[in-house]
Amino acid sequence: MPSRKLGIDCRSSCICVYQVIEEPANYKLLSEEPSRTLQEVEGDTYFDGVSLEKIANEIGTPTYLYSAKSLMKQYRELEAAFRRVDSKIFYSVKANSNVNIISLLKQLNSGFDIVSGGELHRVIAAGGDPRATIFSGVGKSVSEIDLALKVGIDCFNIESAPELDRIIERSRVLGKKPDISVRINPDIDALTHPYISTGLKENKFGVDQVSALQLFKSAQASMYVELVGIDAHIGSQMGSEKPLIDSLLRLLQFAGELEAQGIQLKHLNIGGGFGVPYKDEKIFPLQKFAMAVEKIMNGTGKQLRIEPGRYLTANAGLLLTRVEYLKKDNNGKHFAITDAAMNDLIRPALYDAWHQVWPVNPQTESLSKDWDIVGPICESADFLAKNRNLSLYEGGLLAVLSAGAYGMSLASNYNSRNRAAEVLIENGNARLIRRRETIEDQLALEIIKE
C-alpha cells in the first residue's frame, strides 16, 4: 500500500516529505474547508503533506505551523476578485509578523500595512519595499515617524489633528514631503465582536467627518505633506459585505464633497476585516463584494486600497500542542492540561474565540468525554477550548486550527514561559522560521545588580 515516506535532512532545519503518486486507500480528508485541510494516513495526521507527529518529535511543542500554499491561495483569490478594479493589496502585518510570512507576501507583490516602527523594521528585514508600505495607527511616536520619513514609506494614515501637526513638524525638520491619507470614523456598525469593532463613534480610531474636514484643509494648506487619500477601517470578522459597501460609499461621498472644495484625492482605502470561518461563521462573500465594488469604483479615477490580515493567514496556520495531564471528574469537569497556554494563543481568553481542536494521533480505545482544553498558566482564563467531546490521552498531540492570525503575534512571556517555535511548510518541506525561545533569551534583556 503506497504511503508518504518521511525523512530528515540532517544538514538543515527542514523536515522533508517525499510525495507519492497516489494516495493510500485509507486516506481521509479531515476538514472540508480548503484552507484548513488536514489529511489522515494510517493513523497519522498530515498538515499540507507534513506529519504533525514528526514535527512534534523533531521540533517539540507548542509550535505554530503555517502553510505557504494556503496563504498564497488566499492572496491570489483576493487579488483575482478585484482584477477589474484599479486596486492594491496591503497586507496587515499585525496579523502575523514573522519576517518569512512577510517575505512570502512580498513575492506575491503585496504591499504592507503597519502600525509601529517595529513592524516597519520587519518589512525591511524581509526585503519589503518601504515605498509600498502604509503606516496606520493612532499613536505614532516621533522616532517612528522619523524612521518612516527617512526610509520613504508610501503613505501615513493620519488619525488625529495632533498627529498631523507632528508629522508636518518632523517633515519640516527632515526636509521630507510624505503622502498622507486621513482616516475617518464613519460610525458604521461592523456587526462583529465589540473588541474588534473599530468604526463606531465610541471607538478610538479615526476622526469624525466634521473634524476630518478641517484636518483635510490643514493638510492641503501645508507645504510639508501631500494629501492623497481618505481611509476607514470599521472592524474585523465581517460576514456580510454590507457594512464595507456602506463604508466605501461614505468615503466616496466625502471625497466628492472635498473635491467640491478643491481637494483632489488619489485613493480610497477601505481597510480589511473580511471574515474567515473558525466554526460556523458565514464565509465572507468576496465575489459579491468585489462585483459591488467594481460598479462603485470604476469611473471614479481613484485607486481602491485594501488591508487584509486575518483573511490571508488565519486558516493557513495551526498550533500544535501536547497533552501533559488529564484531570478527570473534578466536580464533574474534565480538564486536558496542555503545554500550550494563553500566552501562546490568547484569542480564546481575550475574545472568547472558538478554535477547532483536532486529536493528531487518537487512540481508538480512549473513550470520548467532554473536555476543557486548558494551559498551565495561573489564570482561570487560561483555556484554548471548552466542552469539546474528544478521545484524549496523556502525551497525545492536539492541533488547534485556524491559528495563523493573532496567535504568535499576540504571544507573551507571561509566567516566564518561552514563546513557541514557528514552522513554515513550502513545497512539502517544513522549515523552522523561528526557534523556540529559551529562558536565556528572556533574561538577556534584564539588568541584574551585582
Question: What positions carry a catalytic annotation?
Answer: 378
Instruction: Identify any residues that bridge with 358 across adjacent strands, giving them in sequence order.
Output: 399
Quote the CA–CA distance of 387 and 373 in Å, as a whole number.
8
Residue that has been written with the C-alpha cell 492623497 in this structure = 228
Query: In 3-state terms, what secondary structure has residue 344?
Result: coil
441 grid coordinates: 533569551
Instruction: Report whether the peptide linkage leading into residue 376 is cis, meaning its omega lies within 30 degrees of zero.
Output: no
Residue 161: which of 85, 235, 219 has the closest Cα?
219
Q: Strand 38-41's sheet: what is its strand order?
A: 28-29, 38-41, 44-47, 50-51
- Please spell the DSSP secondary structure of 271-326, one letter per residue: ---B---SSSPPPP-HHHHHHHHHHHHTTS--EEEE--SHHHHGGGEEEEEEEEEE
Query: In 3-state terms, what secondary structure has residue 26?
Result: coil
- Amino acid, res. 110: S
Rounded (10°) angle between helices 286-297 and 68-81: 40
Residues 269 and 297 sit within 8 Å (Cβ to Cβ): no
The kind and range of the H/E element at 29 are strand 28-29
Instruction: Identify any residues that bridge with 431 across adjacent strands, giving them in sequence order.
Output: 424
Residues 31 and 408 sit within 8 Å (Cβ to Cβ): no
Query: In 3-state terms, what secondary structure has residue 416?
Result: helix
Rounded (10°) angle between helices 117-125 and 99-107: 60
Residue 336, phi then psi, degrees to nearest 5:
-105, 110
The kind and range of the H/E element at 374 are strand 368-374
Burial 302-336 (b: 16+ CB within 10 A, else e): bbbbbbbbbbbbbbbbbbbbbbbebeeeeeeebeb
236 grid coordinates: 474585523
